[in-house]
Structure 1
Amino acid sequence: MSDRKPLISGNWKMHQNHFEAIQLVQKLSYVLTNEDVDAVDVSVHPPFTDIRSVQTVLEADRIPVSLGAQHCHWEEKGAFTGEVSPLMLAKLDVEYVICGHSERRELFGETDDDVNKKVHAILKAGMTPIMCCGETDAEREADQAEEKVSGQVRAGLAKVKPDQVAGMVIAYEPIWAIGTGKTATAEDAQAMCALVRATVSEVAGREAADSIRIQYGGSVKPNNAPELMTQPDIDGALVGGASLDADDFGRIVQYRLVESGS
């Protein structure tokens, strides 16, 4: 294991109204211990309509969980109906913003250039991007996975300063494993996360590559988290469905207890 502190992030996607969001965060606070948050950074990424409610609970109850968002626009303001700017999120004490998630790319047509603009905007607003990359099943079968992922990483990090890259998070998410119940083997996940780190090294230098945290995402569950998290280039997880259950998400955060046999 490296000395990079793991980051476990819960992407709630389009789930939970603000009442349910409050309950989920409160339940999570009962599950997590001081030892958990000392060992692992944790973030939750609610829908936009829940962010203010979750922020209030996290601050009022002093819950040591970081607030995240799932998406933002790259402009600070303007005539962009339905969009949310990074400055709006920063005012709500959002720390992490997911960008380039496969669902945004596949369903809403986001391009590599869009993702790069969002990375710059998120950094400018003082938040940390969780930049996603990953290949489809067809691309993997055609031996194009490495080309696809390294290309997304290069494009997403274009003109980002090495010291900024060092503080970022990249989430490798094989698209064929998101919401399908399929999971890459720990060895496959490690190989692709190592490729991501090698690409970061080529783009921004070895120091940035050694510091950046790389998450694995794609049907992460309590039973497969420990093996995934023992891999040398996996520094956390971007969790989808399992993050909607406080007990399941808590067990993923507590992966080290299974790893150590506790």
Structure 2
Amino acid sequence: MARTFFVGGNFKMNGSVESVKQIIDNLNKADLPSNVEVVIAPPAPYLGLAVATSKQKTVSVGAQNVFDKASGAYTGEISPDQVKDLGGKWTLTGHSERRTIIKESDEFIASKTKFALDQGLSVILCIGETLEERKADVTLDVCARQLDAVSKIVSDWTNIVVAYEPVWAIGTGLAATPDDAQETHKGIRAHLAKSIGQDQAEKVRILYGGSANGKNAPDFKDKADVDGFLVGGASLKPEFIDIIKSRL
């Protein structure tokens, strides 16, 4: 079935007022394809700025993380309602840097995912294995465990996009081959079919997120289960537009 091509840009902990404006100005001036959905996720202090300056109809703004509570004594956290109040429509959850550095558990990520959905945000749910897990040939087992934590408490996946991000390929310059990514994405979709049903699984977009860039993005063009990219460092550069246009 046809799934809308999706490109997410995760700025991570990078940027300033000037640089975020410049990135968005480049997007505003670009002739972006109308059939590609784009979401940019700047650092939280720049969410309002990004919403206010983005003029492309196909570009939405999201947060890099949210908490699983609406308000309260949770210093440093950001709630889905606050993201929405600034005009954001999306959030990431489960990024490997939070799983491995902040030590967020599968269950906590699932709780945040459900709460964000319940509060009206759409979610880019990140999953993926470490190099050690890949060498042990348990990639799909790890992805299944991370997905199952969410499917146990979320039945409607209409507003979830899954991003497969092999930890060993994030920020390293290494990338899975298109064939490797397709094989893993196919396995992820097959597992989702068992847990949330074939119909939903066919509709869920699965992004590749390991060091995607303007040069290698077109190589994934004909892979049936690679529905787009979640881009890190390249989203800060002009080549982000090349990635958005990589299916033309």
Q: Same fold (TM over 0.5)?
A: yes
SS of equivalent to 1:98? strand
Deviation of 1:62 after TM superposition, in Å, equals 5.1
1:29-59 Cα deviation digits (max 9, x unpaired): 11233xx1x121011000001101111112x
Mapped to 1, the partners of 2:66 and 2:31 lie a distance apart of: 29
Give matches, 1:94-173, under 5 Å: 94-161=88-155, 164-173=156-165
SS of equivalent to 2:200? helix
Structure with the bigger percentage of helix: 1
Which residue in the other structure is 1:82 paired with?
76
1:111-157 Cα deviation digits (max 9, x unpaired): 00011101111101111111010001111111111111111111122
**Structure 2: which 5+ residue stretches go unaligned?**
none
Pick one of 174, 177, 196 that aligns with 1:204.
196
Corresponding letter in the other structure for 1:45: A
Q: Percent identity?
A: 36
Q: Does 1:92 align with 2:91?
A: no
Mapped to 2, the partners of 1:166 and 1:188 lie a distance apart of: 26
Corresponding letter in the other structure for 1:85: S
SS of equivalent to 1:131? strand
Which residue in the other structure is 1:28 paired with?
27
SS of equivalent to 2:175? coil
Mapped to 2, the partners of 1:214 and 1:32 lie a distance apart of: 25
Q: Which runs of 4+ in 1 moved over 4 A?
A: none
SS of equivalent to 1:67? strand
Q: Does 1:40 align with 2:36?
A: yes
Mapped to 1, the partners of 2:120 and 2:16 lie a distance apart of: 27
Residues 222 and 252, structure 1, Cα contact 8 Å, conserved in 2: yes
SS of equivalent to 2:26? helix
Q: Does 1:195 align with 2:187?
A: yes
Pick one of 238, 242, 245 that aligns with 1:251.
242
Which residue in the other structure is 2:66 paired with?
72
SS of equivalent to 2:58? coil
Q: Which deviates more, 13-22 or 78-87?
A: 13-22
Residues 41 and 65, structure 1, Cα contact 8 Å, conserved in 2: yes
RMSD, aligned α-carbons: 1.2
Corresponding letter in the other structure for 1:13: K
